[in-house]
Amino acid sequence: AYHANVTVQNNKLIAPFVKEVSVNTILYLCAIVTFSIPLLYILNSILYVKRKQNEPPIVPYWIPVIGSAITMGMDPIKFYRKYQQEYGNYFTFILLGKRMVTCLGSEGNNFVFNAKLANASAEAAYKSLTVPVFGKGVVYDVHNSVLMEQKKFVKAGLSNENLRAYVPMIEMETKNYFSRWNKQSDIQDVHKATAELIIMTASKCLLGEEVRSKLDESFAQIFHDLDGGFKPVNFLFEDLPLPSNKLRDQAHVKMRHFFMDIMKDRREKGITDRTDIMQYLTTHCQYKDGRKLSDEESAHIMIAMLMAGQHTSSTTTAWALLYLASQPNLFNELRKEQIEVFGSLDEPLTFDGIKKLTLHDNVVRESLRLRPPIFNVIRKVLRDLPIPGTQYVIPKDSYIQSILAISHRSEGYFENAETFNPNRWVDFDQNVKERDDDLVDYGFGVLHSASAKSPFLPFGAGRHRCIGEPFAYLQIKTIIAVFVRMFDLELYKNKFPECDFTTMIVQPKDPLVQYTRRDN
């Protein structure tokens, strides 16, 4: 009755206007139509991106500037597969006013990863996101040739000799960490655990035990605030006045000083026998022109390494454990493999032993295939760029991107591509014909340039290829090896988590698992 009364009263209020307004309304409508056609035409030409001659096809969109951001963001895999079917391996979509040229398949990967320096730049694409986090004078704040030298330093610091020393450290950290899962059986968030464990092991091995010892106090907060600067929006816009960016900038200064103070302290105490990267950077590294790496540069390289390895390795470990939880019979297989290599599950893990664990290796590889943490690799195009073998020319200032997950999960390259099957790698032929004349050295070690044509590139290829791969494999395999000794695992309510695409690194949503301790 109340609603009916209100409606009647509203009608009474509106009624006197209806006759008067109706004549005016028609006039208004005519005026709006007459003026809006040219206005819409002008807005359309200003706001909507026009396809240039020979440009790859542009995915249609309704809202100017926003472009396809919403549809792509909701389900990127569906989005890229849909338009790959419609347009083939090369097409453009508009993302917040920017042209993103998507390059798919192994040829598309090769086009992006092997793009010449003069044609496409990683620095121009990643600078606004990374320089405030990593700091000045390193990685994407310097000429590419300097980055190549800095990568050489880190690669040399991750020598087999140092990696050998890391295995017992990772084993001990992992055992200690999981001693807190002390019930006979319980439910836990596996990604929360791997994120905490990866920062503990990485800081102990790479950054130094002084950093590790501060992890539970001040350092954790600094890391958290700095990490808050790693937001997709900072890739798209420079220097946004966000509160999180203010915290990021303060955290960067604190972390730099934190590392530089440790360097100074070590120098004063004459400490030179550490196996961490801090030790290597501060004592062994000199540029080709004879200049020594400064403490500030060393500190910034350490921040870059921390950031490059943290989410990539923690999500990979989480996804690997989730996939194992979805096929619990693999736990016995992994334990069997360890008994074959080490003799028993009580023997300490070693570098040489970890290298022999091929099923463990294939579990990590298969997790990286299905859930590559770096979803897309981006470059900014510096001049109009033809795509070989097509009639397309990409306009200057566009972005080119390779979407690793699309070739990784394509039936054309991998049979039953959506199935987690670590054994597919036992005799997998990546079908890339590498010849010795393909060899190329960008400054941090020799690579096969043809490897960029592989459909499986979780660590990238070419001059920007990852130098953290050996450490990442060692770290993740050691954690898994300790974990399977301690626990059996199942998915909570048998539910395999979905992907969260809103973060820089694709993470599992609600990754709950049910563990059962083996040693209680």
Q: Which of residues 200 and 466 has its CB atom nearest to ligand HEM in the complex? A: 466
Euclidean distance between CA atoms 76 and 81, whole angstroms? 8
Provide the Cα torsion 339, 342, 348, 352; round to 10°.
Answer: -140
Of 48, 181, 287, 459, the one binding ligand HEM (CB under 6 A) is 459
Q: Which of residues 57 and 137 has its CB atom nearest to ligand HEM in the complex? A: 137
Kindly indicate which of the ranges 64-72, 334-342, 422-430, 467-475 contains the residues binding ligand HEM, using the contact rule CB under 6 A.
467-475
Residue-wise DSSP of 444-497: SSEEEGGGGG-S--TT--GGG--S-HHHHHHHHHHHHHHHHHHEEEEEGGG-PP
Is position 106 an interface residue for ligand HEM (rule: CB under 6 A)? no
Q: Which of residues 228 and 373 has its CB atom nearest to ligand HEM in the complex? A: 373
- Closest contact distance (angstroms) between CB of 472 and ligand HEM is 4
Measured at the alpha carbon of residue 506, what is the angle toward residues 122 and 382, in degrees to the nearest 5?
Answer: 15
Of 266, 464, 477, 485, the one binding ligand HEM (CB under 6 A) is 464
Q: Are 461 and 152 contacting, i.e. CB atoms less than 8 angstroms apart? A: no
Residue with tokens 């004078």: 137
Provide the 8-state DSSP code for 345: T
Is position 305 an interface residue for ligand HEM (rule: CB under 6 A)? yes
Q: Give SS3 for 410.
A: coil
Euclidean distance between CA atoms 259 and 295, whole angstroms? 9
Q: In the stretch 134-173, what mask flags binding to ligand HEM with x, by CB under 6 A?
A: -------------x---x----------------------
Euclidean distance between CA atoms 256 and 260, whole angstroms? 6
Euclidean distance between CA atoms 108 and 90, whole angstroms? 8
Is position 309 an interface residue for ligand HEM (rule: CB under 6 A)? yes
Of 312, 376, 451, 478, the one binding ligand HEM (CB under 6 A) is 312
Helix H, strand E, coil C: the string for 219-269 is: HHHHHHHHHCCCCHHHHHCCCCCCHHHHHHHHHHHHHHHHHHHHHHHHHHH
Residue-wise DSSP of 181-216: --SSEEEEEHHHHHHHHHHHHHIIIII-HHHHHTTT
Q: Give SS3 for 51.
A: coil
Kindly indicate which of the ranges 10-18, 325-333, 335-343, 459-467 contains the residues binding ligand HEM, using the contact rule CB under 6 A.
459-467
- Closest contact distance (angstroms) between CB of 505 and ligand HEM is 9
Binding footprint of ligand HEM, residue count (CB under 6 A)? 21
Residue with tokens 């849909």: 82
Of 195, 466, 474, 481, the one binding ligand HEM (CB under 6 A) is 466
- Closest contact distance (angstroms) between CB of 242 and ligand HEM is 24
Q: Which of residues 58 and 402 has its CB atom nearest to ligand HEM in the complex? A: 402
Residue in the shown chain whose Cβ atom is closest to ligand HEM: 468
Q: Are 379 and 235 contacting, i.e. CB atoms less than 8 angstroms apart? A: no
Is position 451 an interface residue for ligand HEM (rule: CB under 6 A)? no
- Closest contact distance (angstroms) between CB of 456 and ligand HEM is 11
CA distances from 258 to 60, 206, 245, 262, 339 (A): 49, 15, 20, 7, 42
Of 162, 313, 338, 401, the one binding ligand HEM (CB under 6 A) is 313
Kindly indicate which of the ranges 69-77, 100-108, 260-268, 304-312 contains the residues binding ligand HEM, using the contact rule CB under 6 A.
304-312
Element (H, E) at 508: strand 507-508
Residues in 114-133 that interact with ligand HEM by CB under 6 A: 122
Q: In the stretch 43-82, what mask flags binding to ligand HEM with x, by CB under 6 A?
A: ----------------------------------------
Of 56, 468, 497, 511, the one binding ligand HEM (CB under 6 A) is 468
Residue 314 bridge partners (DSSP) = none
Is position 472 an interface residue for ligand HEM (rule: CB under 6 A)? yes
Euclidean distance between CA atoms 328 and 100, whole angstroms? 41
Q: Which of residues 377 and 491 has its CB atom nearest to ligand HEM in the complex? A: 377
Of 251, 400, 467, 481, the one binding ligand HEM (CB under 6 A) is 467
Residue 310: name the closest of 230, 232, 246 by CA.
230
Residues in 360-399 that interact with ligand HEM by CB under 6 A: 373-374, 377
Of 84, 201, 234, 316, the one binding ligand HEM (CB under 6 A) is 316
Radius of gyration, CA atoms only, the chain: 27
Q: Which of residues 256 and 365 has its CB atom nearest to ligand HEM in the complex? A: 365
User: CB neighbours of 247 closer than 8 A, spacing ≥ 6?
Assistant: 225, 228, 229
Q: Which of residues 394 and 472 has its CB atom nearest to ligand HEM in the complex? A: 472
- Closest contact distance (angstroms) between CB of 207 and ligand HEM is 10
Q: Which of residues 392 and 442 has its CB atom nearest to ligand HEM in the complex? A: 442
Provide the Cα torsion 158, 442, 355, 188; round to 10°.
Answer: 70
Where on the chain is the footprint of ligand HEM (CB under 6 A)?
122, 147, 151, 305, 308-309, 312-313, 316, 373-374, 377, 458-460, 464, 466-468, 471-472
